[in-house]
Amino acid sequence: MNDTYSLAKWFSFIFFAALLFVNPLGARSAEAKAGKIKRPNIILIVTDNQSERLLGAYGNTHIKTPHIDQLAAEGSLVANAFAASGVCSPTRAALLTGLMPSQTGIHVALPPVVDLENWSAIEEFRNLPSALSAAGYVTGLVGKYHLGNHYKPQIGFDHWVTFHGGHTTTFWDQEVVDNGETYRMQGHLTDFWTDKAIEFVRDQTDKKPFFLMLAYNGPYMLPPTVLMEPRGKHAAYYSKNIPPMPQTPIHPYLESWARGKGPTGQMVKDGTTAWRAIRALNNPIAMINTAAEMSLLDDGIGRLVASLKAQGLDEDTLIVFTSDQGSSYGQHGLWGNTSWSFPFAAYNMNMRVPLIVRYPRLIAAGQTTDRIVNQVDIFPTILDYANVADKNIPNSSGKSIVSILEGKNTDWDDVAFFEFVTVRVIETPKWKYSKSYHDDVTAELYDLEADPEELNNLIAVSEHTKIIEQLDQQLDAYFTKYSDSKYDLWRGGTAKAQLLGNHYGKDYIFSDRFPDWKTPKVEKLSPYVEK
């Protein structure tokens, strides 16, 4: 699959670059500079546990995603976009606050409900919906939230359609909260979210700009959902046209987790999370479900864009398409996001996300950039396009990528930072260096120019000692500068709500190292107030 993926990706990049020369900004750019363009409507589409490699725009020739590919053809595709972390709650927090997990205190997936009324995990930080609401936007959430209790609107959202928690056990006939009303919807959740998103857009008749966060919980890719009998609109097609998947041995981290090596020394019985991941490897059912959910999600985006065009809103709507984090589907013998192994593996399949931005008024069609973009850059970018007067995000390392998206020359630090509980990573166009909180886990260094699939760990090669030292210092300097000591796990900090105790039974790795370590808790903090 790697050869097919690389060749197709190369041709897609050539295609998008060619479009740039036949569709320049021209008069639109002059019109924007003259201040004649109104503040855009904004739709942030976030998928769940999705590798960029599932999309035609990123080189996949086996899974049908024509509408997402069209977004890329009509906008700007970021070839090197990185999640801030490896699981949904911390990455969604990064999208909405521009902050890393060691700043927000959200290190793992949060509980579906906590015993504190209307608790929000990020309300003490400046956040995207509150900032846009204060700037005059009508704001709506449709889909997955997973950043606090879900029964009432939070953090500046006016319109609120969501579901219980964040883990998807099935896409069918689920209980939802629809602006205060709780009921069981009928059918597939992806179709339901799309219907509700179109409904929200159609209701915007007072001429105010709107912000919609459309947070699909598909394609998801995680067991047990991905191991269920395929059903739905695209299941029959992919049952006959199964996309290829890597045939690789089980990764030692996943095998170790499945065997239950730990303080008790006991074997973990079949049926655990780890064994579900192992059963997904090389399993055609898992790939059929993944592809079918991806194509259904693509259908939904096509319907939403068609609705925008029917209302005459297409030219004036900024669409940002991305995912919360990536997901392996066999690469390196892993399945799922970074949390689906222990110790935690952080390969680019887990770290990289799709990022496509379409705004016909200011972004010329067919652009592709290979600049490295971090997830925390999305919040300041949206503030920039919304022309919000106060663009400052306290303590954020994020920066607006407007100039990159519009194809302008700009000074840019091509470096990505990533953290998930016990692993931290720095990545440049050439080098990737990761290290672990665990003393017995070997650090990793990859030369991405020579080894893009991260197969040859160079950490023990003496000639690379200097670059390892430089990357290590740069990684430490970043987290020293931006982390909040209260939530910096590597300096004795803790987490909000939960950490590794509930799911992994491993909070002892922090309490053993830091005698005064405080267990995670839920507390009400003072909400951030827009100036």
Residues 6 or more apart whose CB falls under 8 angstroms from that of 337 comprise 49, 86, 87, 222, 325, 326, 327, 328, 350
- Give, as one character, the DSSP assignment of residue 520: P
- Cis amide linkage into residue 224, ω under 30° from 0: yes
Confidence of residue 502 (pLDDT cuts 50, 70, 90): confident
Please tell me the distance from the alpha carbon of residue 426 to that of residue 417, in angstroms, as a whole number: 5
Confidence of residue 37 (pLDDT cuts 50, 70, 90): low
Between 112 and 520, the higher pLDDT residue: 520
- pLDDT, residue 483, reads 98
The greatest distance separating any two alpha carbons of the chain, rounded to the nearest whole angstrom, comes to 69
- pLDDT, residue 18, reads 44
Confidence of residue 149 (pLDDT cuts 50, 70, 90): very high
Give percent of the chain with pLDDT exceeding 70: 91
Interval 231-259 mean pLDDT = 93
Between 305 and 408, the higher pLDDT residue: 305
- pLDDT, residue 505, reads 87
Contact assessment for residue 428 and residue 414, using Cβ atoms and an 8 Å cutoff: yes
Over residues 416-467, the pLDDT tens digits come to: 999 999 999 999 999 999 999 998 899 999 999 999 999 999 999 999 999 9
Three-class HEC string of 321-387: EEECCCCEECHHHCEECCCCCCCCCCCHHHHEEEEEEECCCCCCCCEEEEEEEEHHHHHHHHHHHCC
Enumerate the β-bridge partners of residue 226.
Answer: none
Contact assessment for residue 152 and residue 120, using Cβ atoms and an 8 Å cutoff: no
DSSP-assigned letters across all residues of 120-150: BSSTTS--HHHHHHHTT-EEEEEE---SB--
H helices present in 142-241, as ranges: 189-202, 235-240
- pLDDT, residue 15, reads 43
Confidence of residue 67 (pLDDT cuts 50, 70, 90): very high
Indicate if the pLDDT at residue 336 is higher than 90.
yes
Over residues 361-402, the pLDDT tens digits come to: 999 999 999 999 999 999 999 999 999 999 999 999 999 999
- pLDDT, residue 260, reads 64
Enumerate the β-bridge partners of residue 78.
Answer: 355, 369
Q: Structure pTM?
A: 0.92
Contact assessment for residue 112 and residue 168, using Cβ atoms and an 8 Å cutoff: no
Question: How does strand 335-336 pair with strand 352-358?
Answer: unpaired
**385 Cα distance to chain centroid:** 21
Residues 6 or more apart whose CB falls under 8 angstroms from that of 30 comprise none
Interval 260-277 mean pLDDT = 61
User: What is the rounded (10 degree) CA torsion for 215, 219, 223, 225?
Assistant: 90
- pLDDT, residue 207, reads 83
- pLDDT, residue 206, reads 78
Please report how the helices 66-73 and 2-22 are oriented relative to each other, as an axis angle in degrees rounded to 10.
40
- pLDDT, residue 489, reads 98
Three-class HEC string of 80-126: EEECCCCCHHHHHHHHHHCCCHHHHCCCCCCCCCCCCCCCECCCCCC
Please tell me the distance from the alpha carbon of residue 446 to that of residue 352, in angstroms, as a whole number: 16
- pLDDT, residue 165, reads 80
Contact assessment for residue 496 and residue 102, using Cβ atoms and an 8 Å cutoff: no
What's at 249, amino acid-wise? P
- pLDDT, residue 53, reads 97
For the chain, what is the mean pLDDT?
A: 91
Contact assessment for residue 351 and residue 418, using Cβ atoms and an 8 Å cutoff: yes
Interval 251-266 mean pLDDT = 70
- pLDDT, residue 33, reads 43
